[in-house]
Amino acid sequence: MRLGLTWQSNNNRPIAAAILAPLQATILFDQPSEHYSMSKINIEFTLFSAFYSPLISTMTGGFLKDEGLDFEYTVSAPGVTAITALDNGTADVVQSTLSQGFNTLNKGGVPACVHFAQINEMDGFFLTGRDADPAFSWDKLEGAEVLVHHGGQPMTMFKYACYKGGVDINKIKIIDAGNGGEMDKAYRAGTGQYIHQQGPAPQQLEADGVGHVVTALGPTIGPCGFSSLAAKPEWLETDEAKAFTRAYIKTRNYMNDTPAAEIARAEKPLFPNIDEAVLADCIGTYQKMGVWTRHIDITDAGYEAMLDIFEYDGMLKTRYAYDQVCAKPPIV
């Protein structure tokens, strides 16, 4: 017996890392021998890139299906956090960041959702330059025109990377070229000497002969709770949440044990404008960086590092307690 599942993105913008057009693909999976009805969960991404492969691969690796979960995914509109989809009930679990909790607390509110599992424990942005530069150092950005992603967290992380790299950010000619797709287009048209992007957009620029990746921000900044999964507390009590968590645990092992080329082959239908070899190169780079650790808990150390980063940028009113933003994943 065959089972049809639908992957659907209703976002009609180019995506920074995937340059993703509106996509709807029907994928047929073999149904397990047990006969049961599938529960359905709705997943939303704030940004869609290979950096979020631990969540993407719950779908493309078949792990949700193995746990009896049908699914649909969407990508938030530009400038809108996926937390909005939790608030309005259109998503069950979303890709987000701890800083969304900081933002709510800064305004005197109480977050209606909790961050219950980590996705990435390191920044996933790269800097691409016009020329190959194996001896790149951060001070080379001084006086240069740099297209920087101006979303709240990406800019804060870029500032912190400059600080850790020993460069005066005020000496950089920062360019705001719009959203990720607009930035990519501007750089390809000749704007700027460097560009700040998540993978696999930088790797595709390199493959197309437009630029050369000169550094990754993650190792400069160090480990941190960069991105996470969020949900409503009441959803985390459901059987669907427990099934999702089992699938996610399996996926994190898959991300560490499986060759990048195999992961990329499964994910390729969701990245129609990225070469499969480029996608594999990007995933392999992230694997070597160690951004996808096996455990799923948001660690105290990762949380404290994010407080340090946002405190440096003046984006915290106080250092909020872990349990004001985070919760432990469902016990499975």
Residues 216-257 have pLDDT tens digits of: 999 999 999 999 999 999 999 999 999 999 999 999 999 999
Fold classification of 125-221 is: D-Maltodextrin-Binding Protein; domain 2 (3.40.190)
How do the domains of the chain map onto residue ranges?
A: 2-122+224-324, 125-221
What is residue 316's DSSP assignment? -
Q: Determine the 3-state secondary structure of 260 from DSSP.
A: helix
Supply the DSSP string of 35-82, one letter for each residue: --PPEEEEEEESS-SGGGHHHHHHHHTSHHHHTTEEEEEEEPPTT--T
Average pLDDT over residues 74-83: 91
Which residue, 104, 94, 102, is CA-closest to 46? 94
Residue 272 pLDDT class (50, 70, 90 cuts): very high
Segment 146-164, tens digit of pLDDT: 999 987 899 999 999 999 9
Q: Is the pLDDT of residue 287 over 50?
A: yes
Domains 2-122+224-324 and 125-221 alike in fold: yes
Q: Which residues contact 316 (CB under 8 A, 6 or more apart)?
A: 102, 106, 307, 310
Q: How far is the C-alpha of 30 from the C-alpha of 33, rounded, in Å?
A: 9
Torsion over CA: 192, 194, 199, 201 (sign): positive
What's this model's pTM, rounded to 2 decimal places? 0.87
Q: Is the pLDDT of residue 128 over 90?
A: yes
Phi, psi at residue 191, to the nearest 5°?
-80, 130
- pLDDT at position 145 is 98
Which residue, 269, 304, 290, 329, is CA-closest to 57? 269
- pLDDT at position 34 is 42
Q: How far is the C-alpha of 142 from the C-alpha of 64, rounded, in Å?
A: 47
Which residue, 214, 165, 179, 152, is CA-closest to 48? 179
Segment 93-124, tens digit of pLDDT: 999 999 999 999 999 999 999 999 999 999 99
Q: How far is the C-alpha of 219 from the C-alpha of 314, rounded, in Å?
A: 22
Tell me what the pLDDT averaged over the chain comes to: 90
- pLDDT at position 38 is 74
- pLDDT at position 37 is 58
The answer to whether the CB of 224 falls within 8 A of the CB of 307 is: no
| Dihedral-angle region of residue 108 (phi above 0 means left; psi in -120 to 50 means alpha; beta otherwise) | left
Q: Pick one of 3.40.50.10490, 3.30.390.50, 3.40.190.10, 3.20.20.80 as the CATH number of 2-122+224-324.
A: 3.40.190.10
Segment 33-75, tens digit of pLDDT: 343 457 999 999 999 999 999 999 999 999 999 999 999 999 9
Segment 182-204, tens digit of pLDDT: 999 999 999 999 999 999 999 99
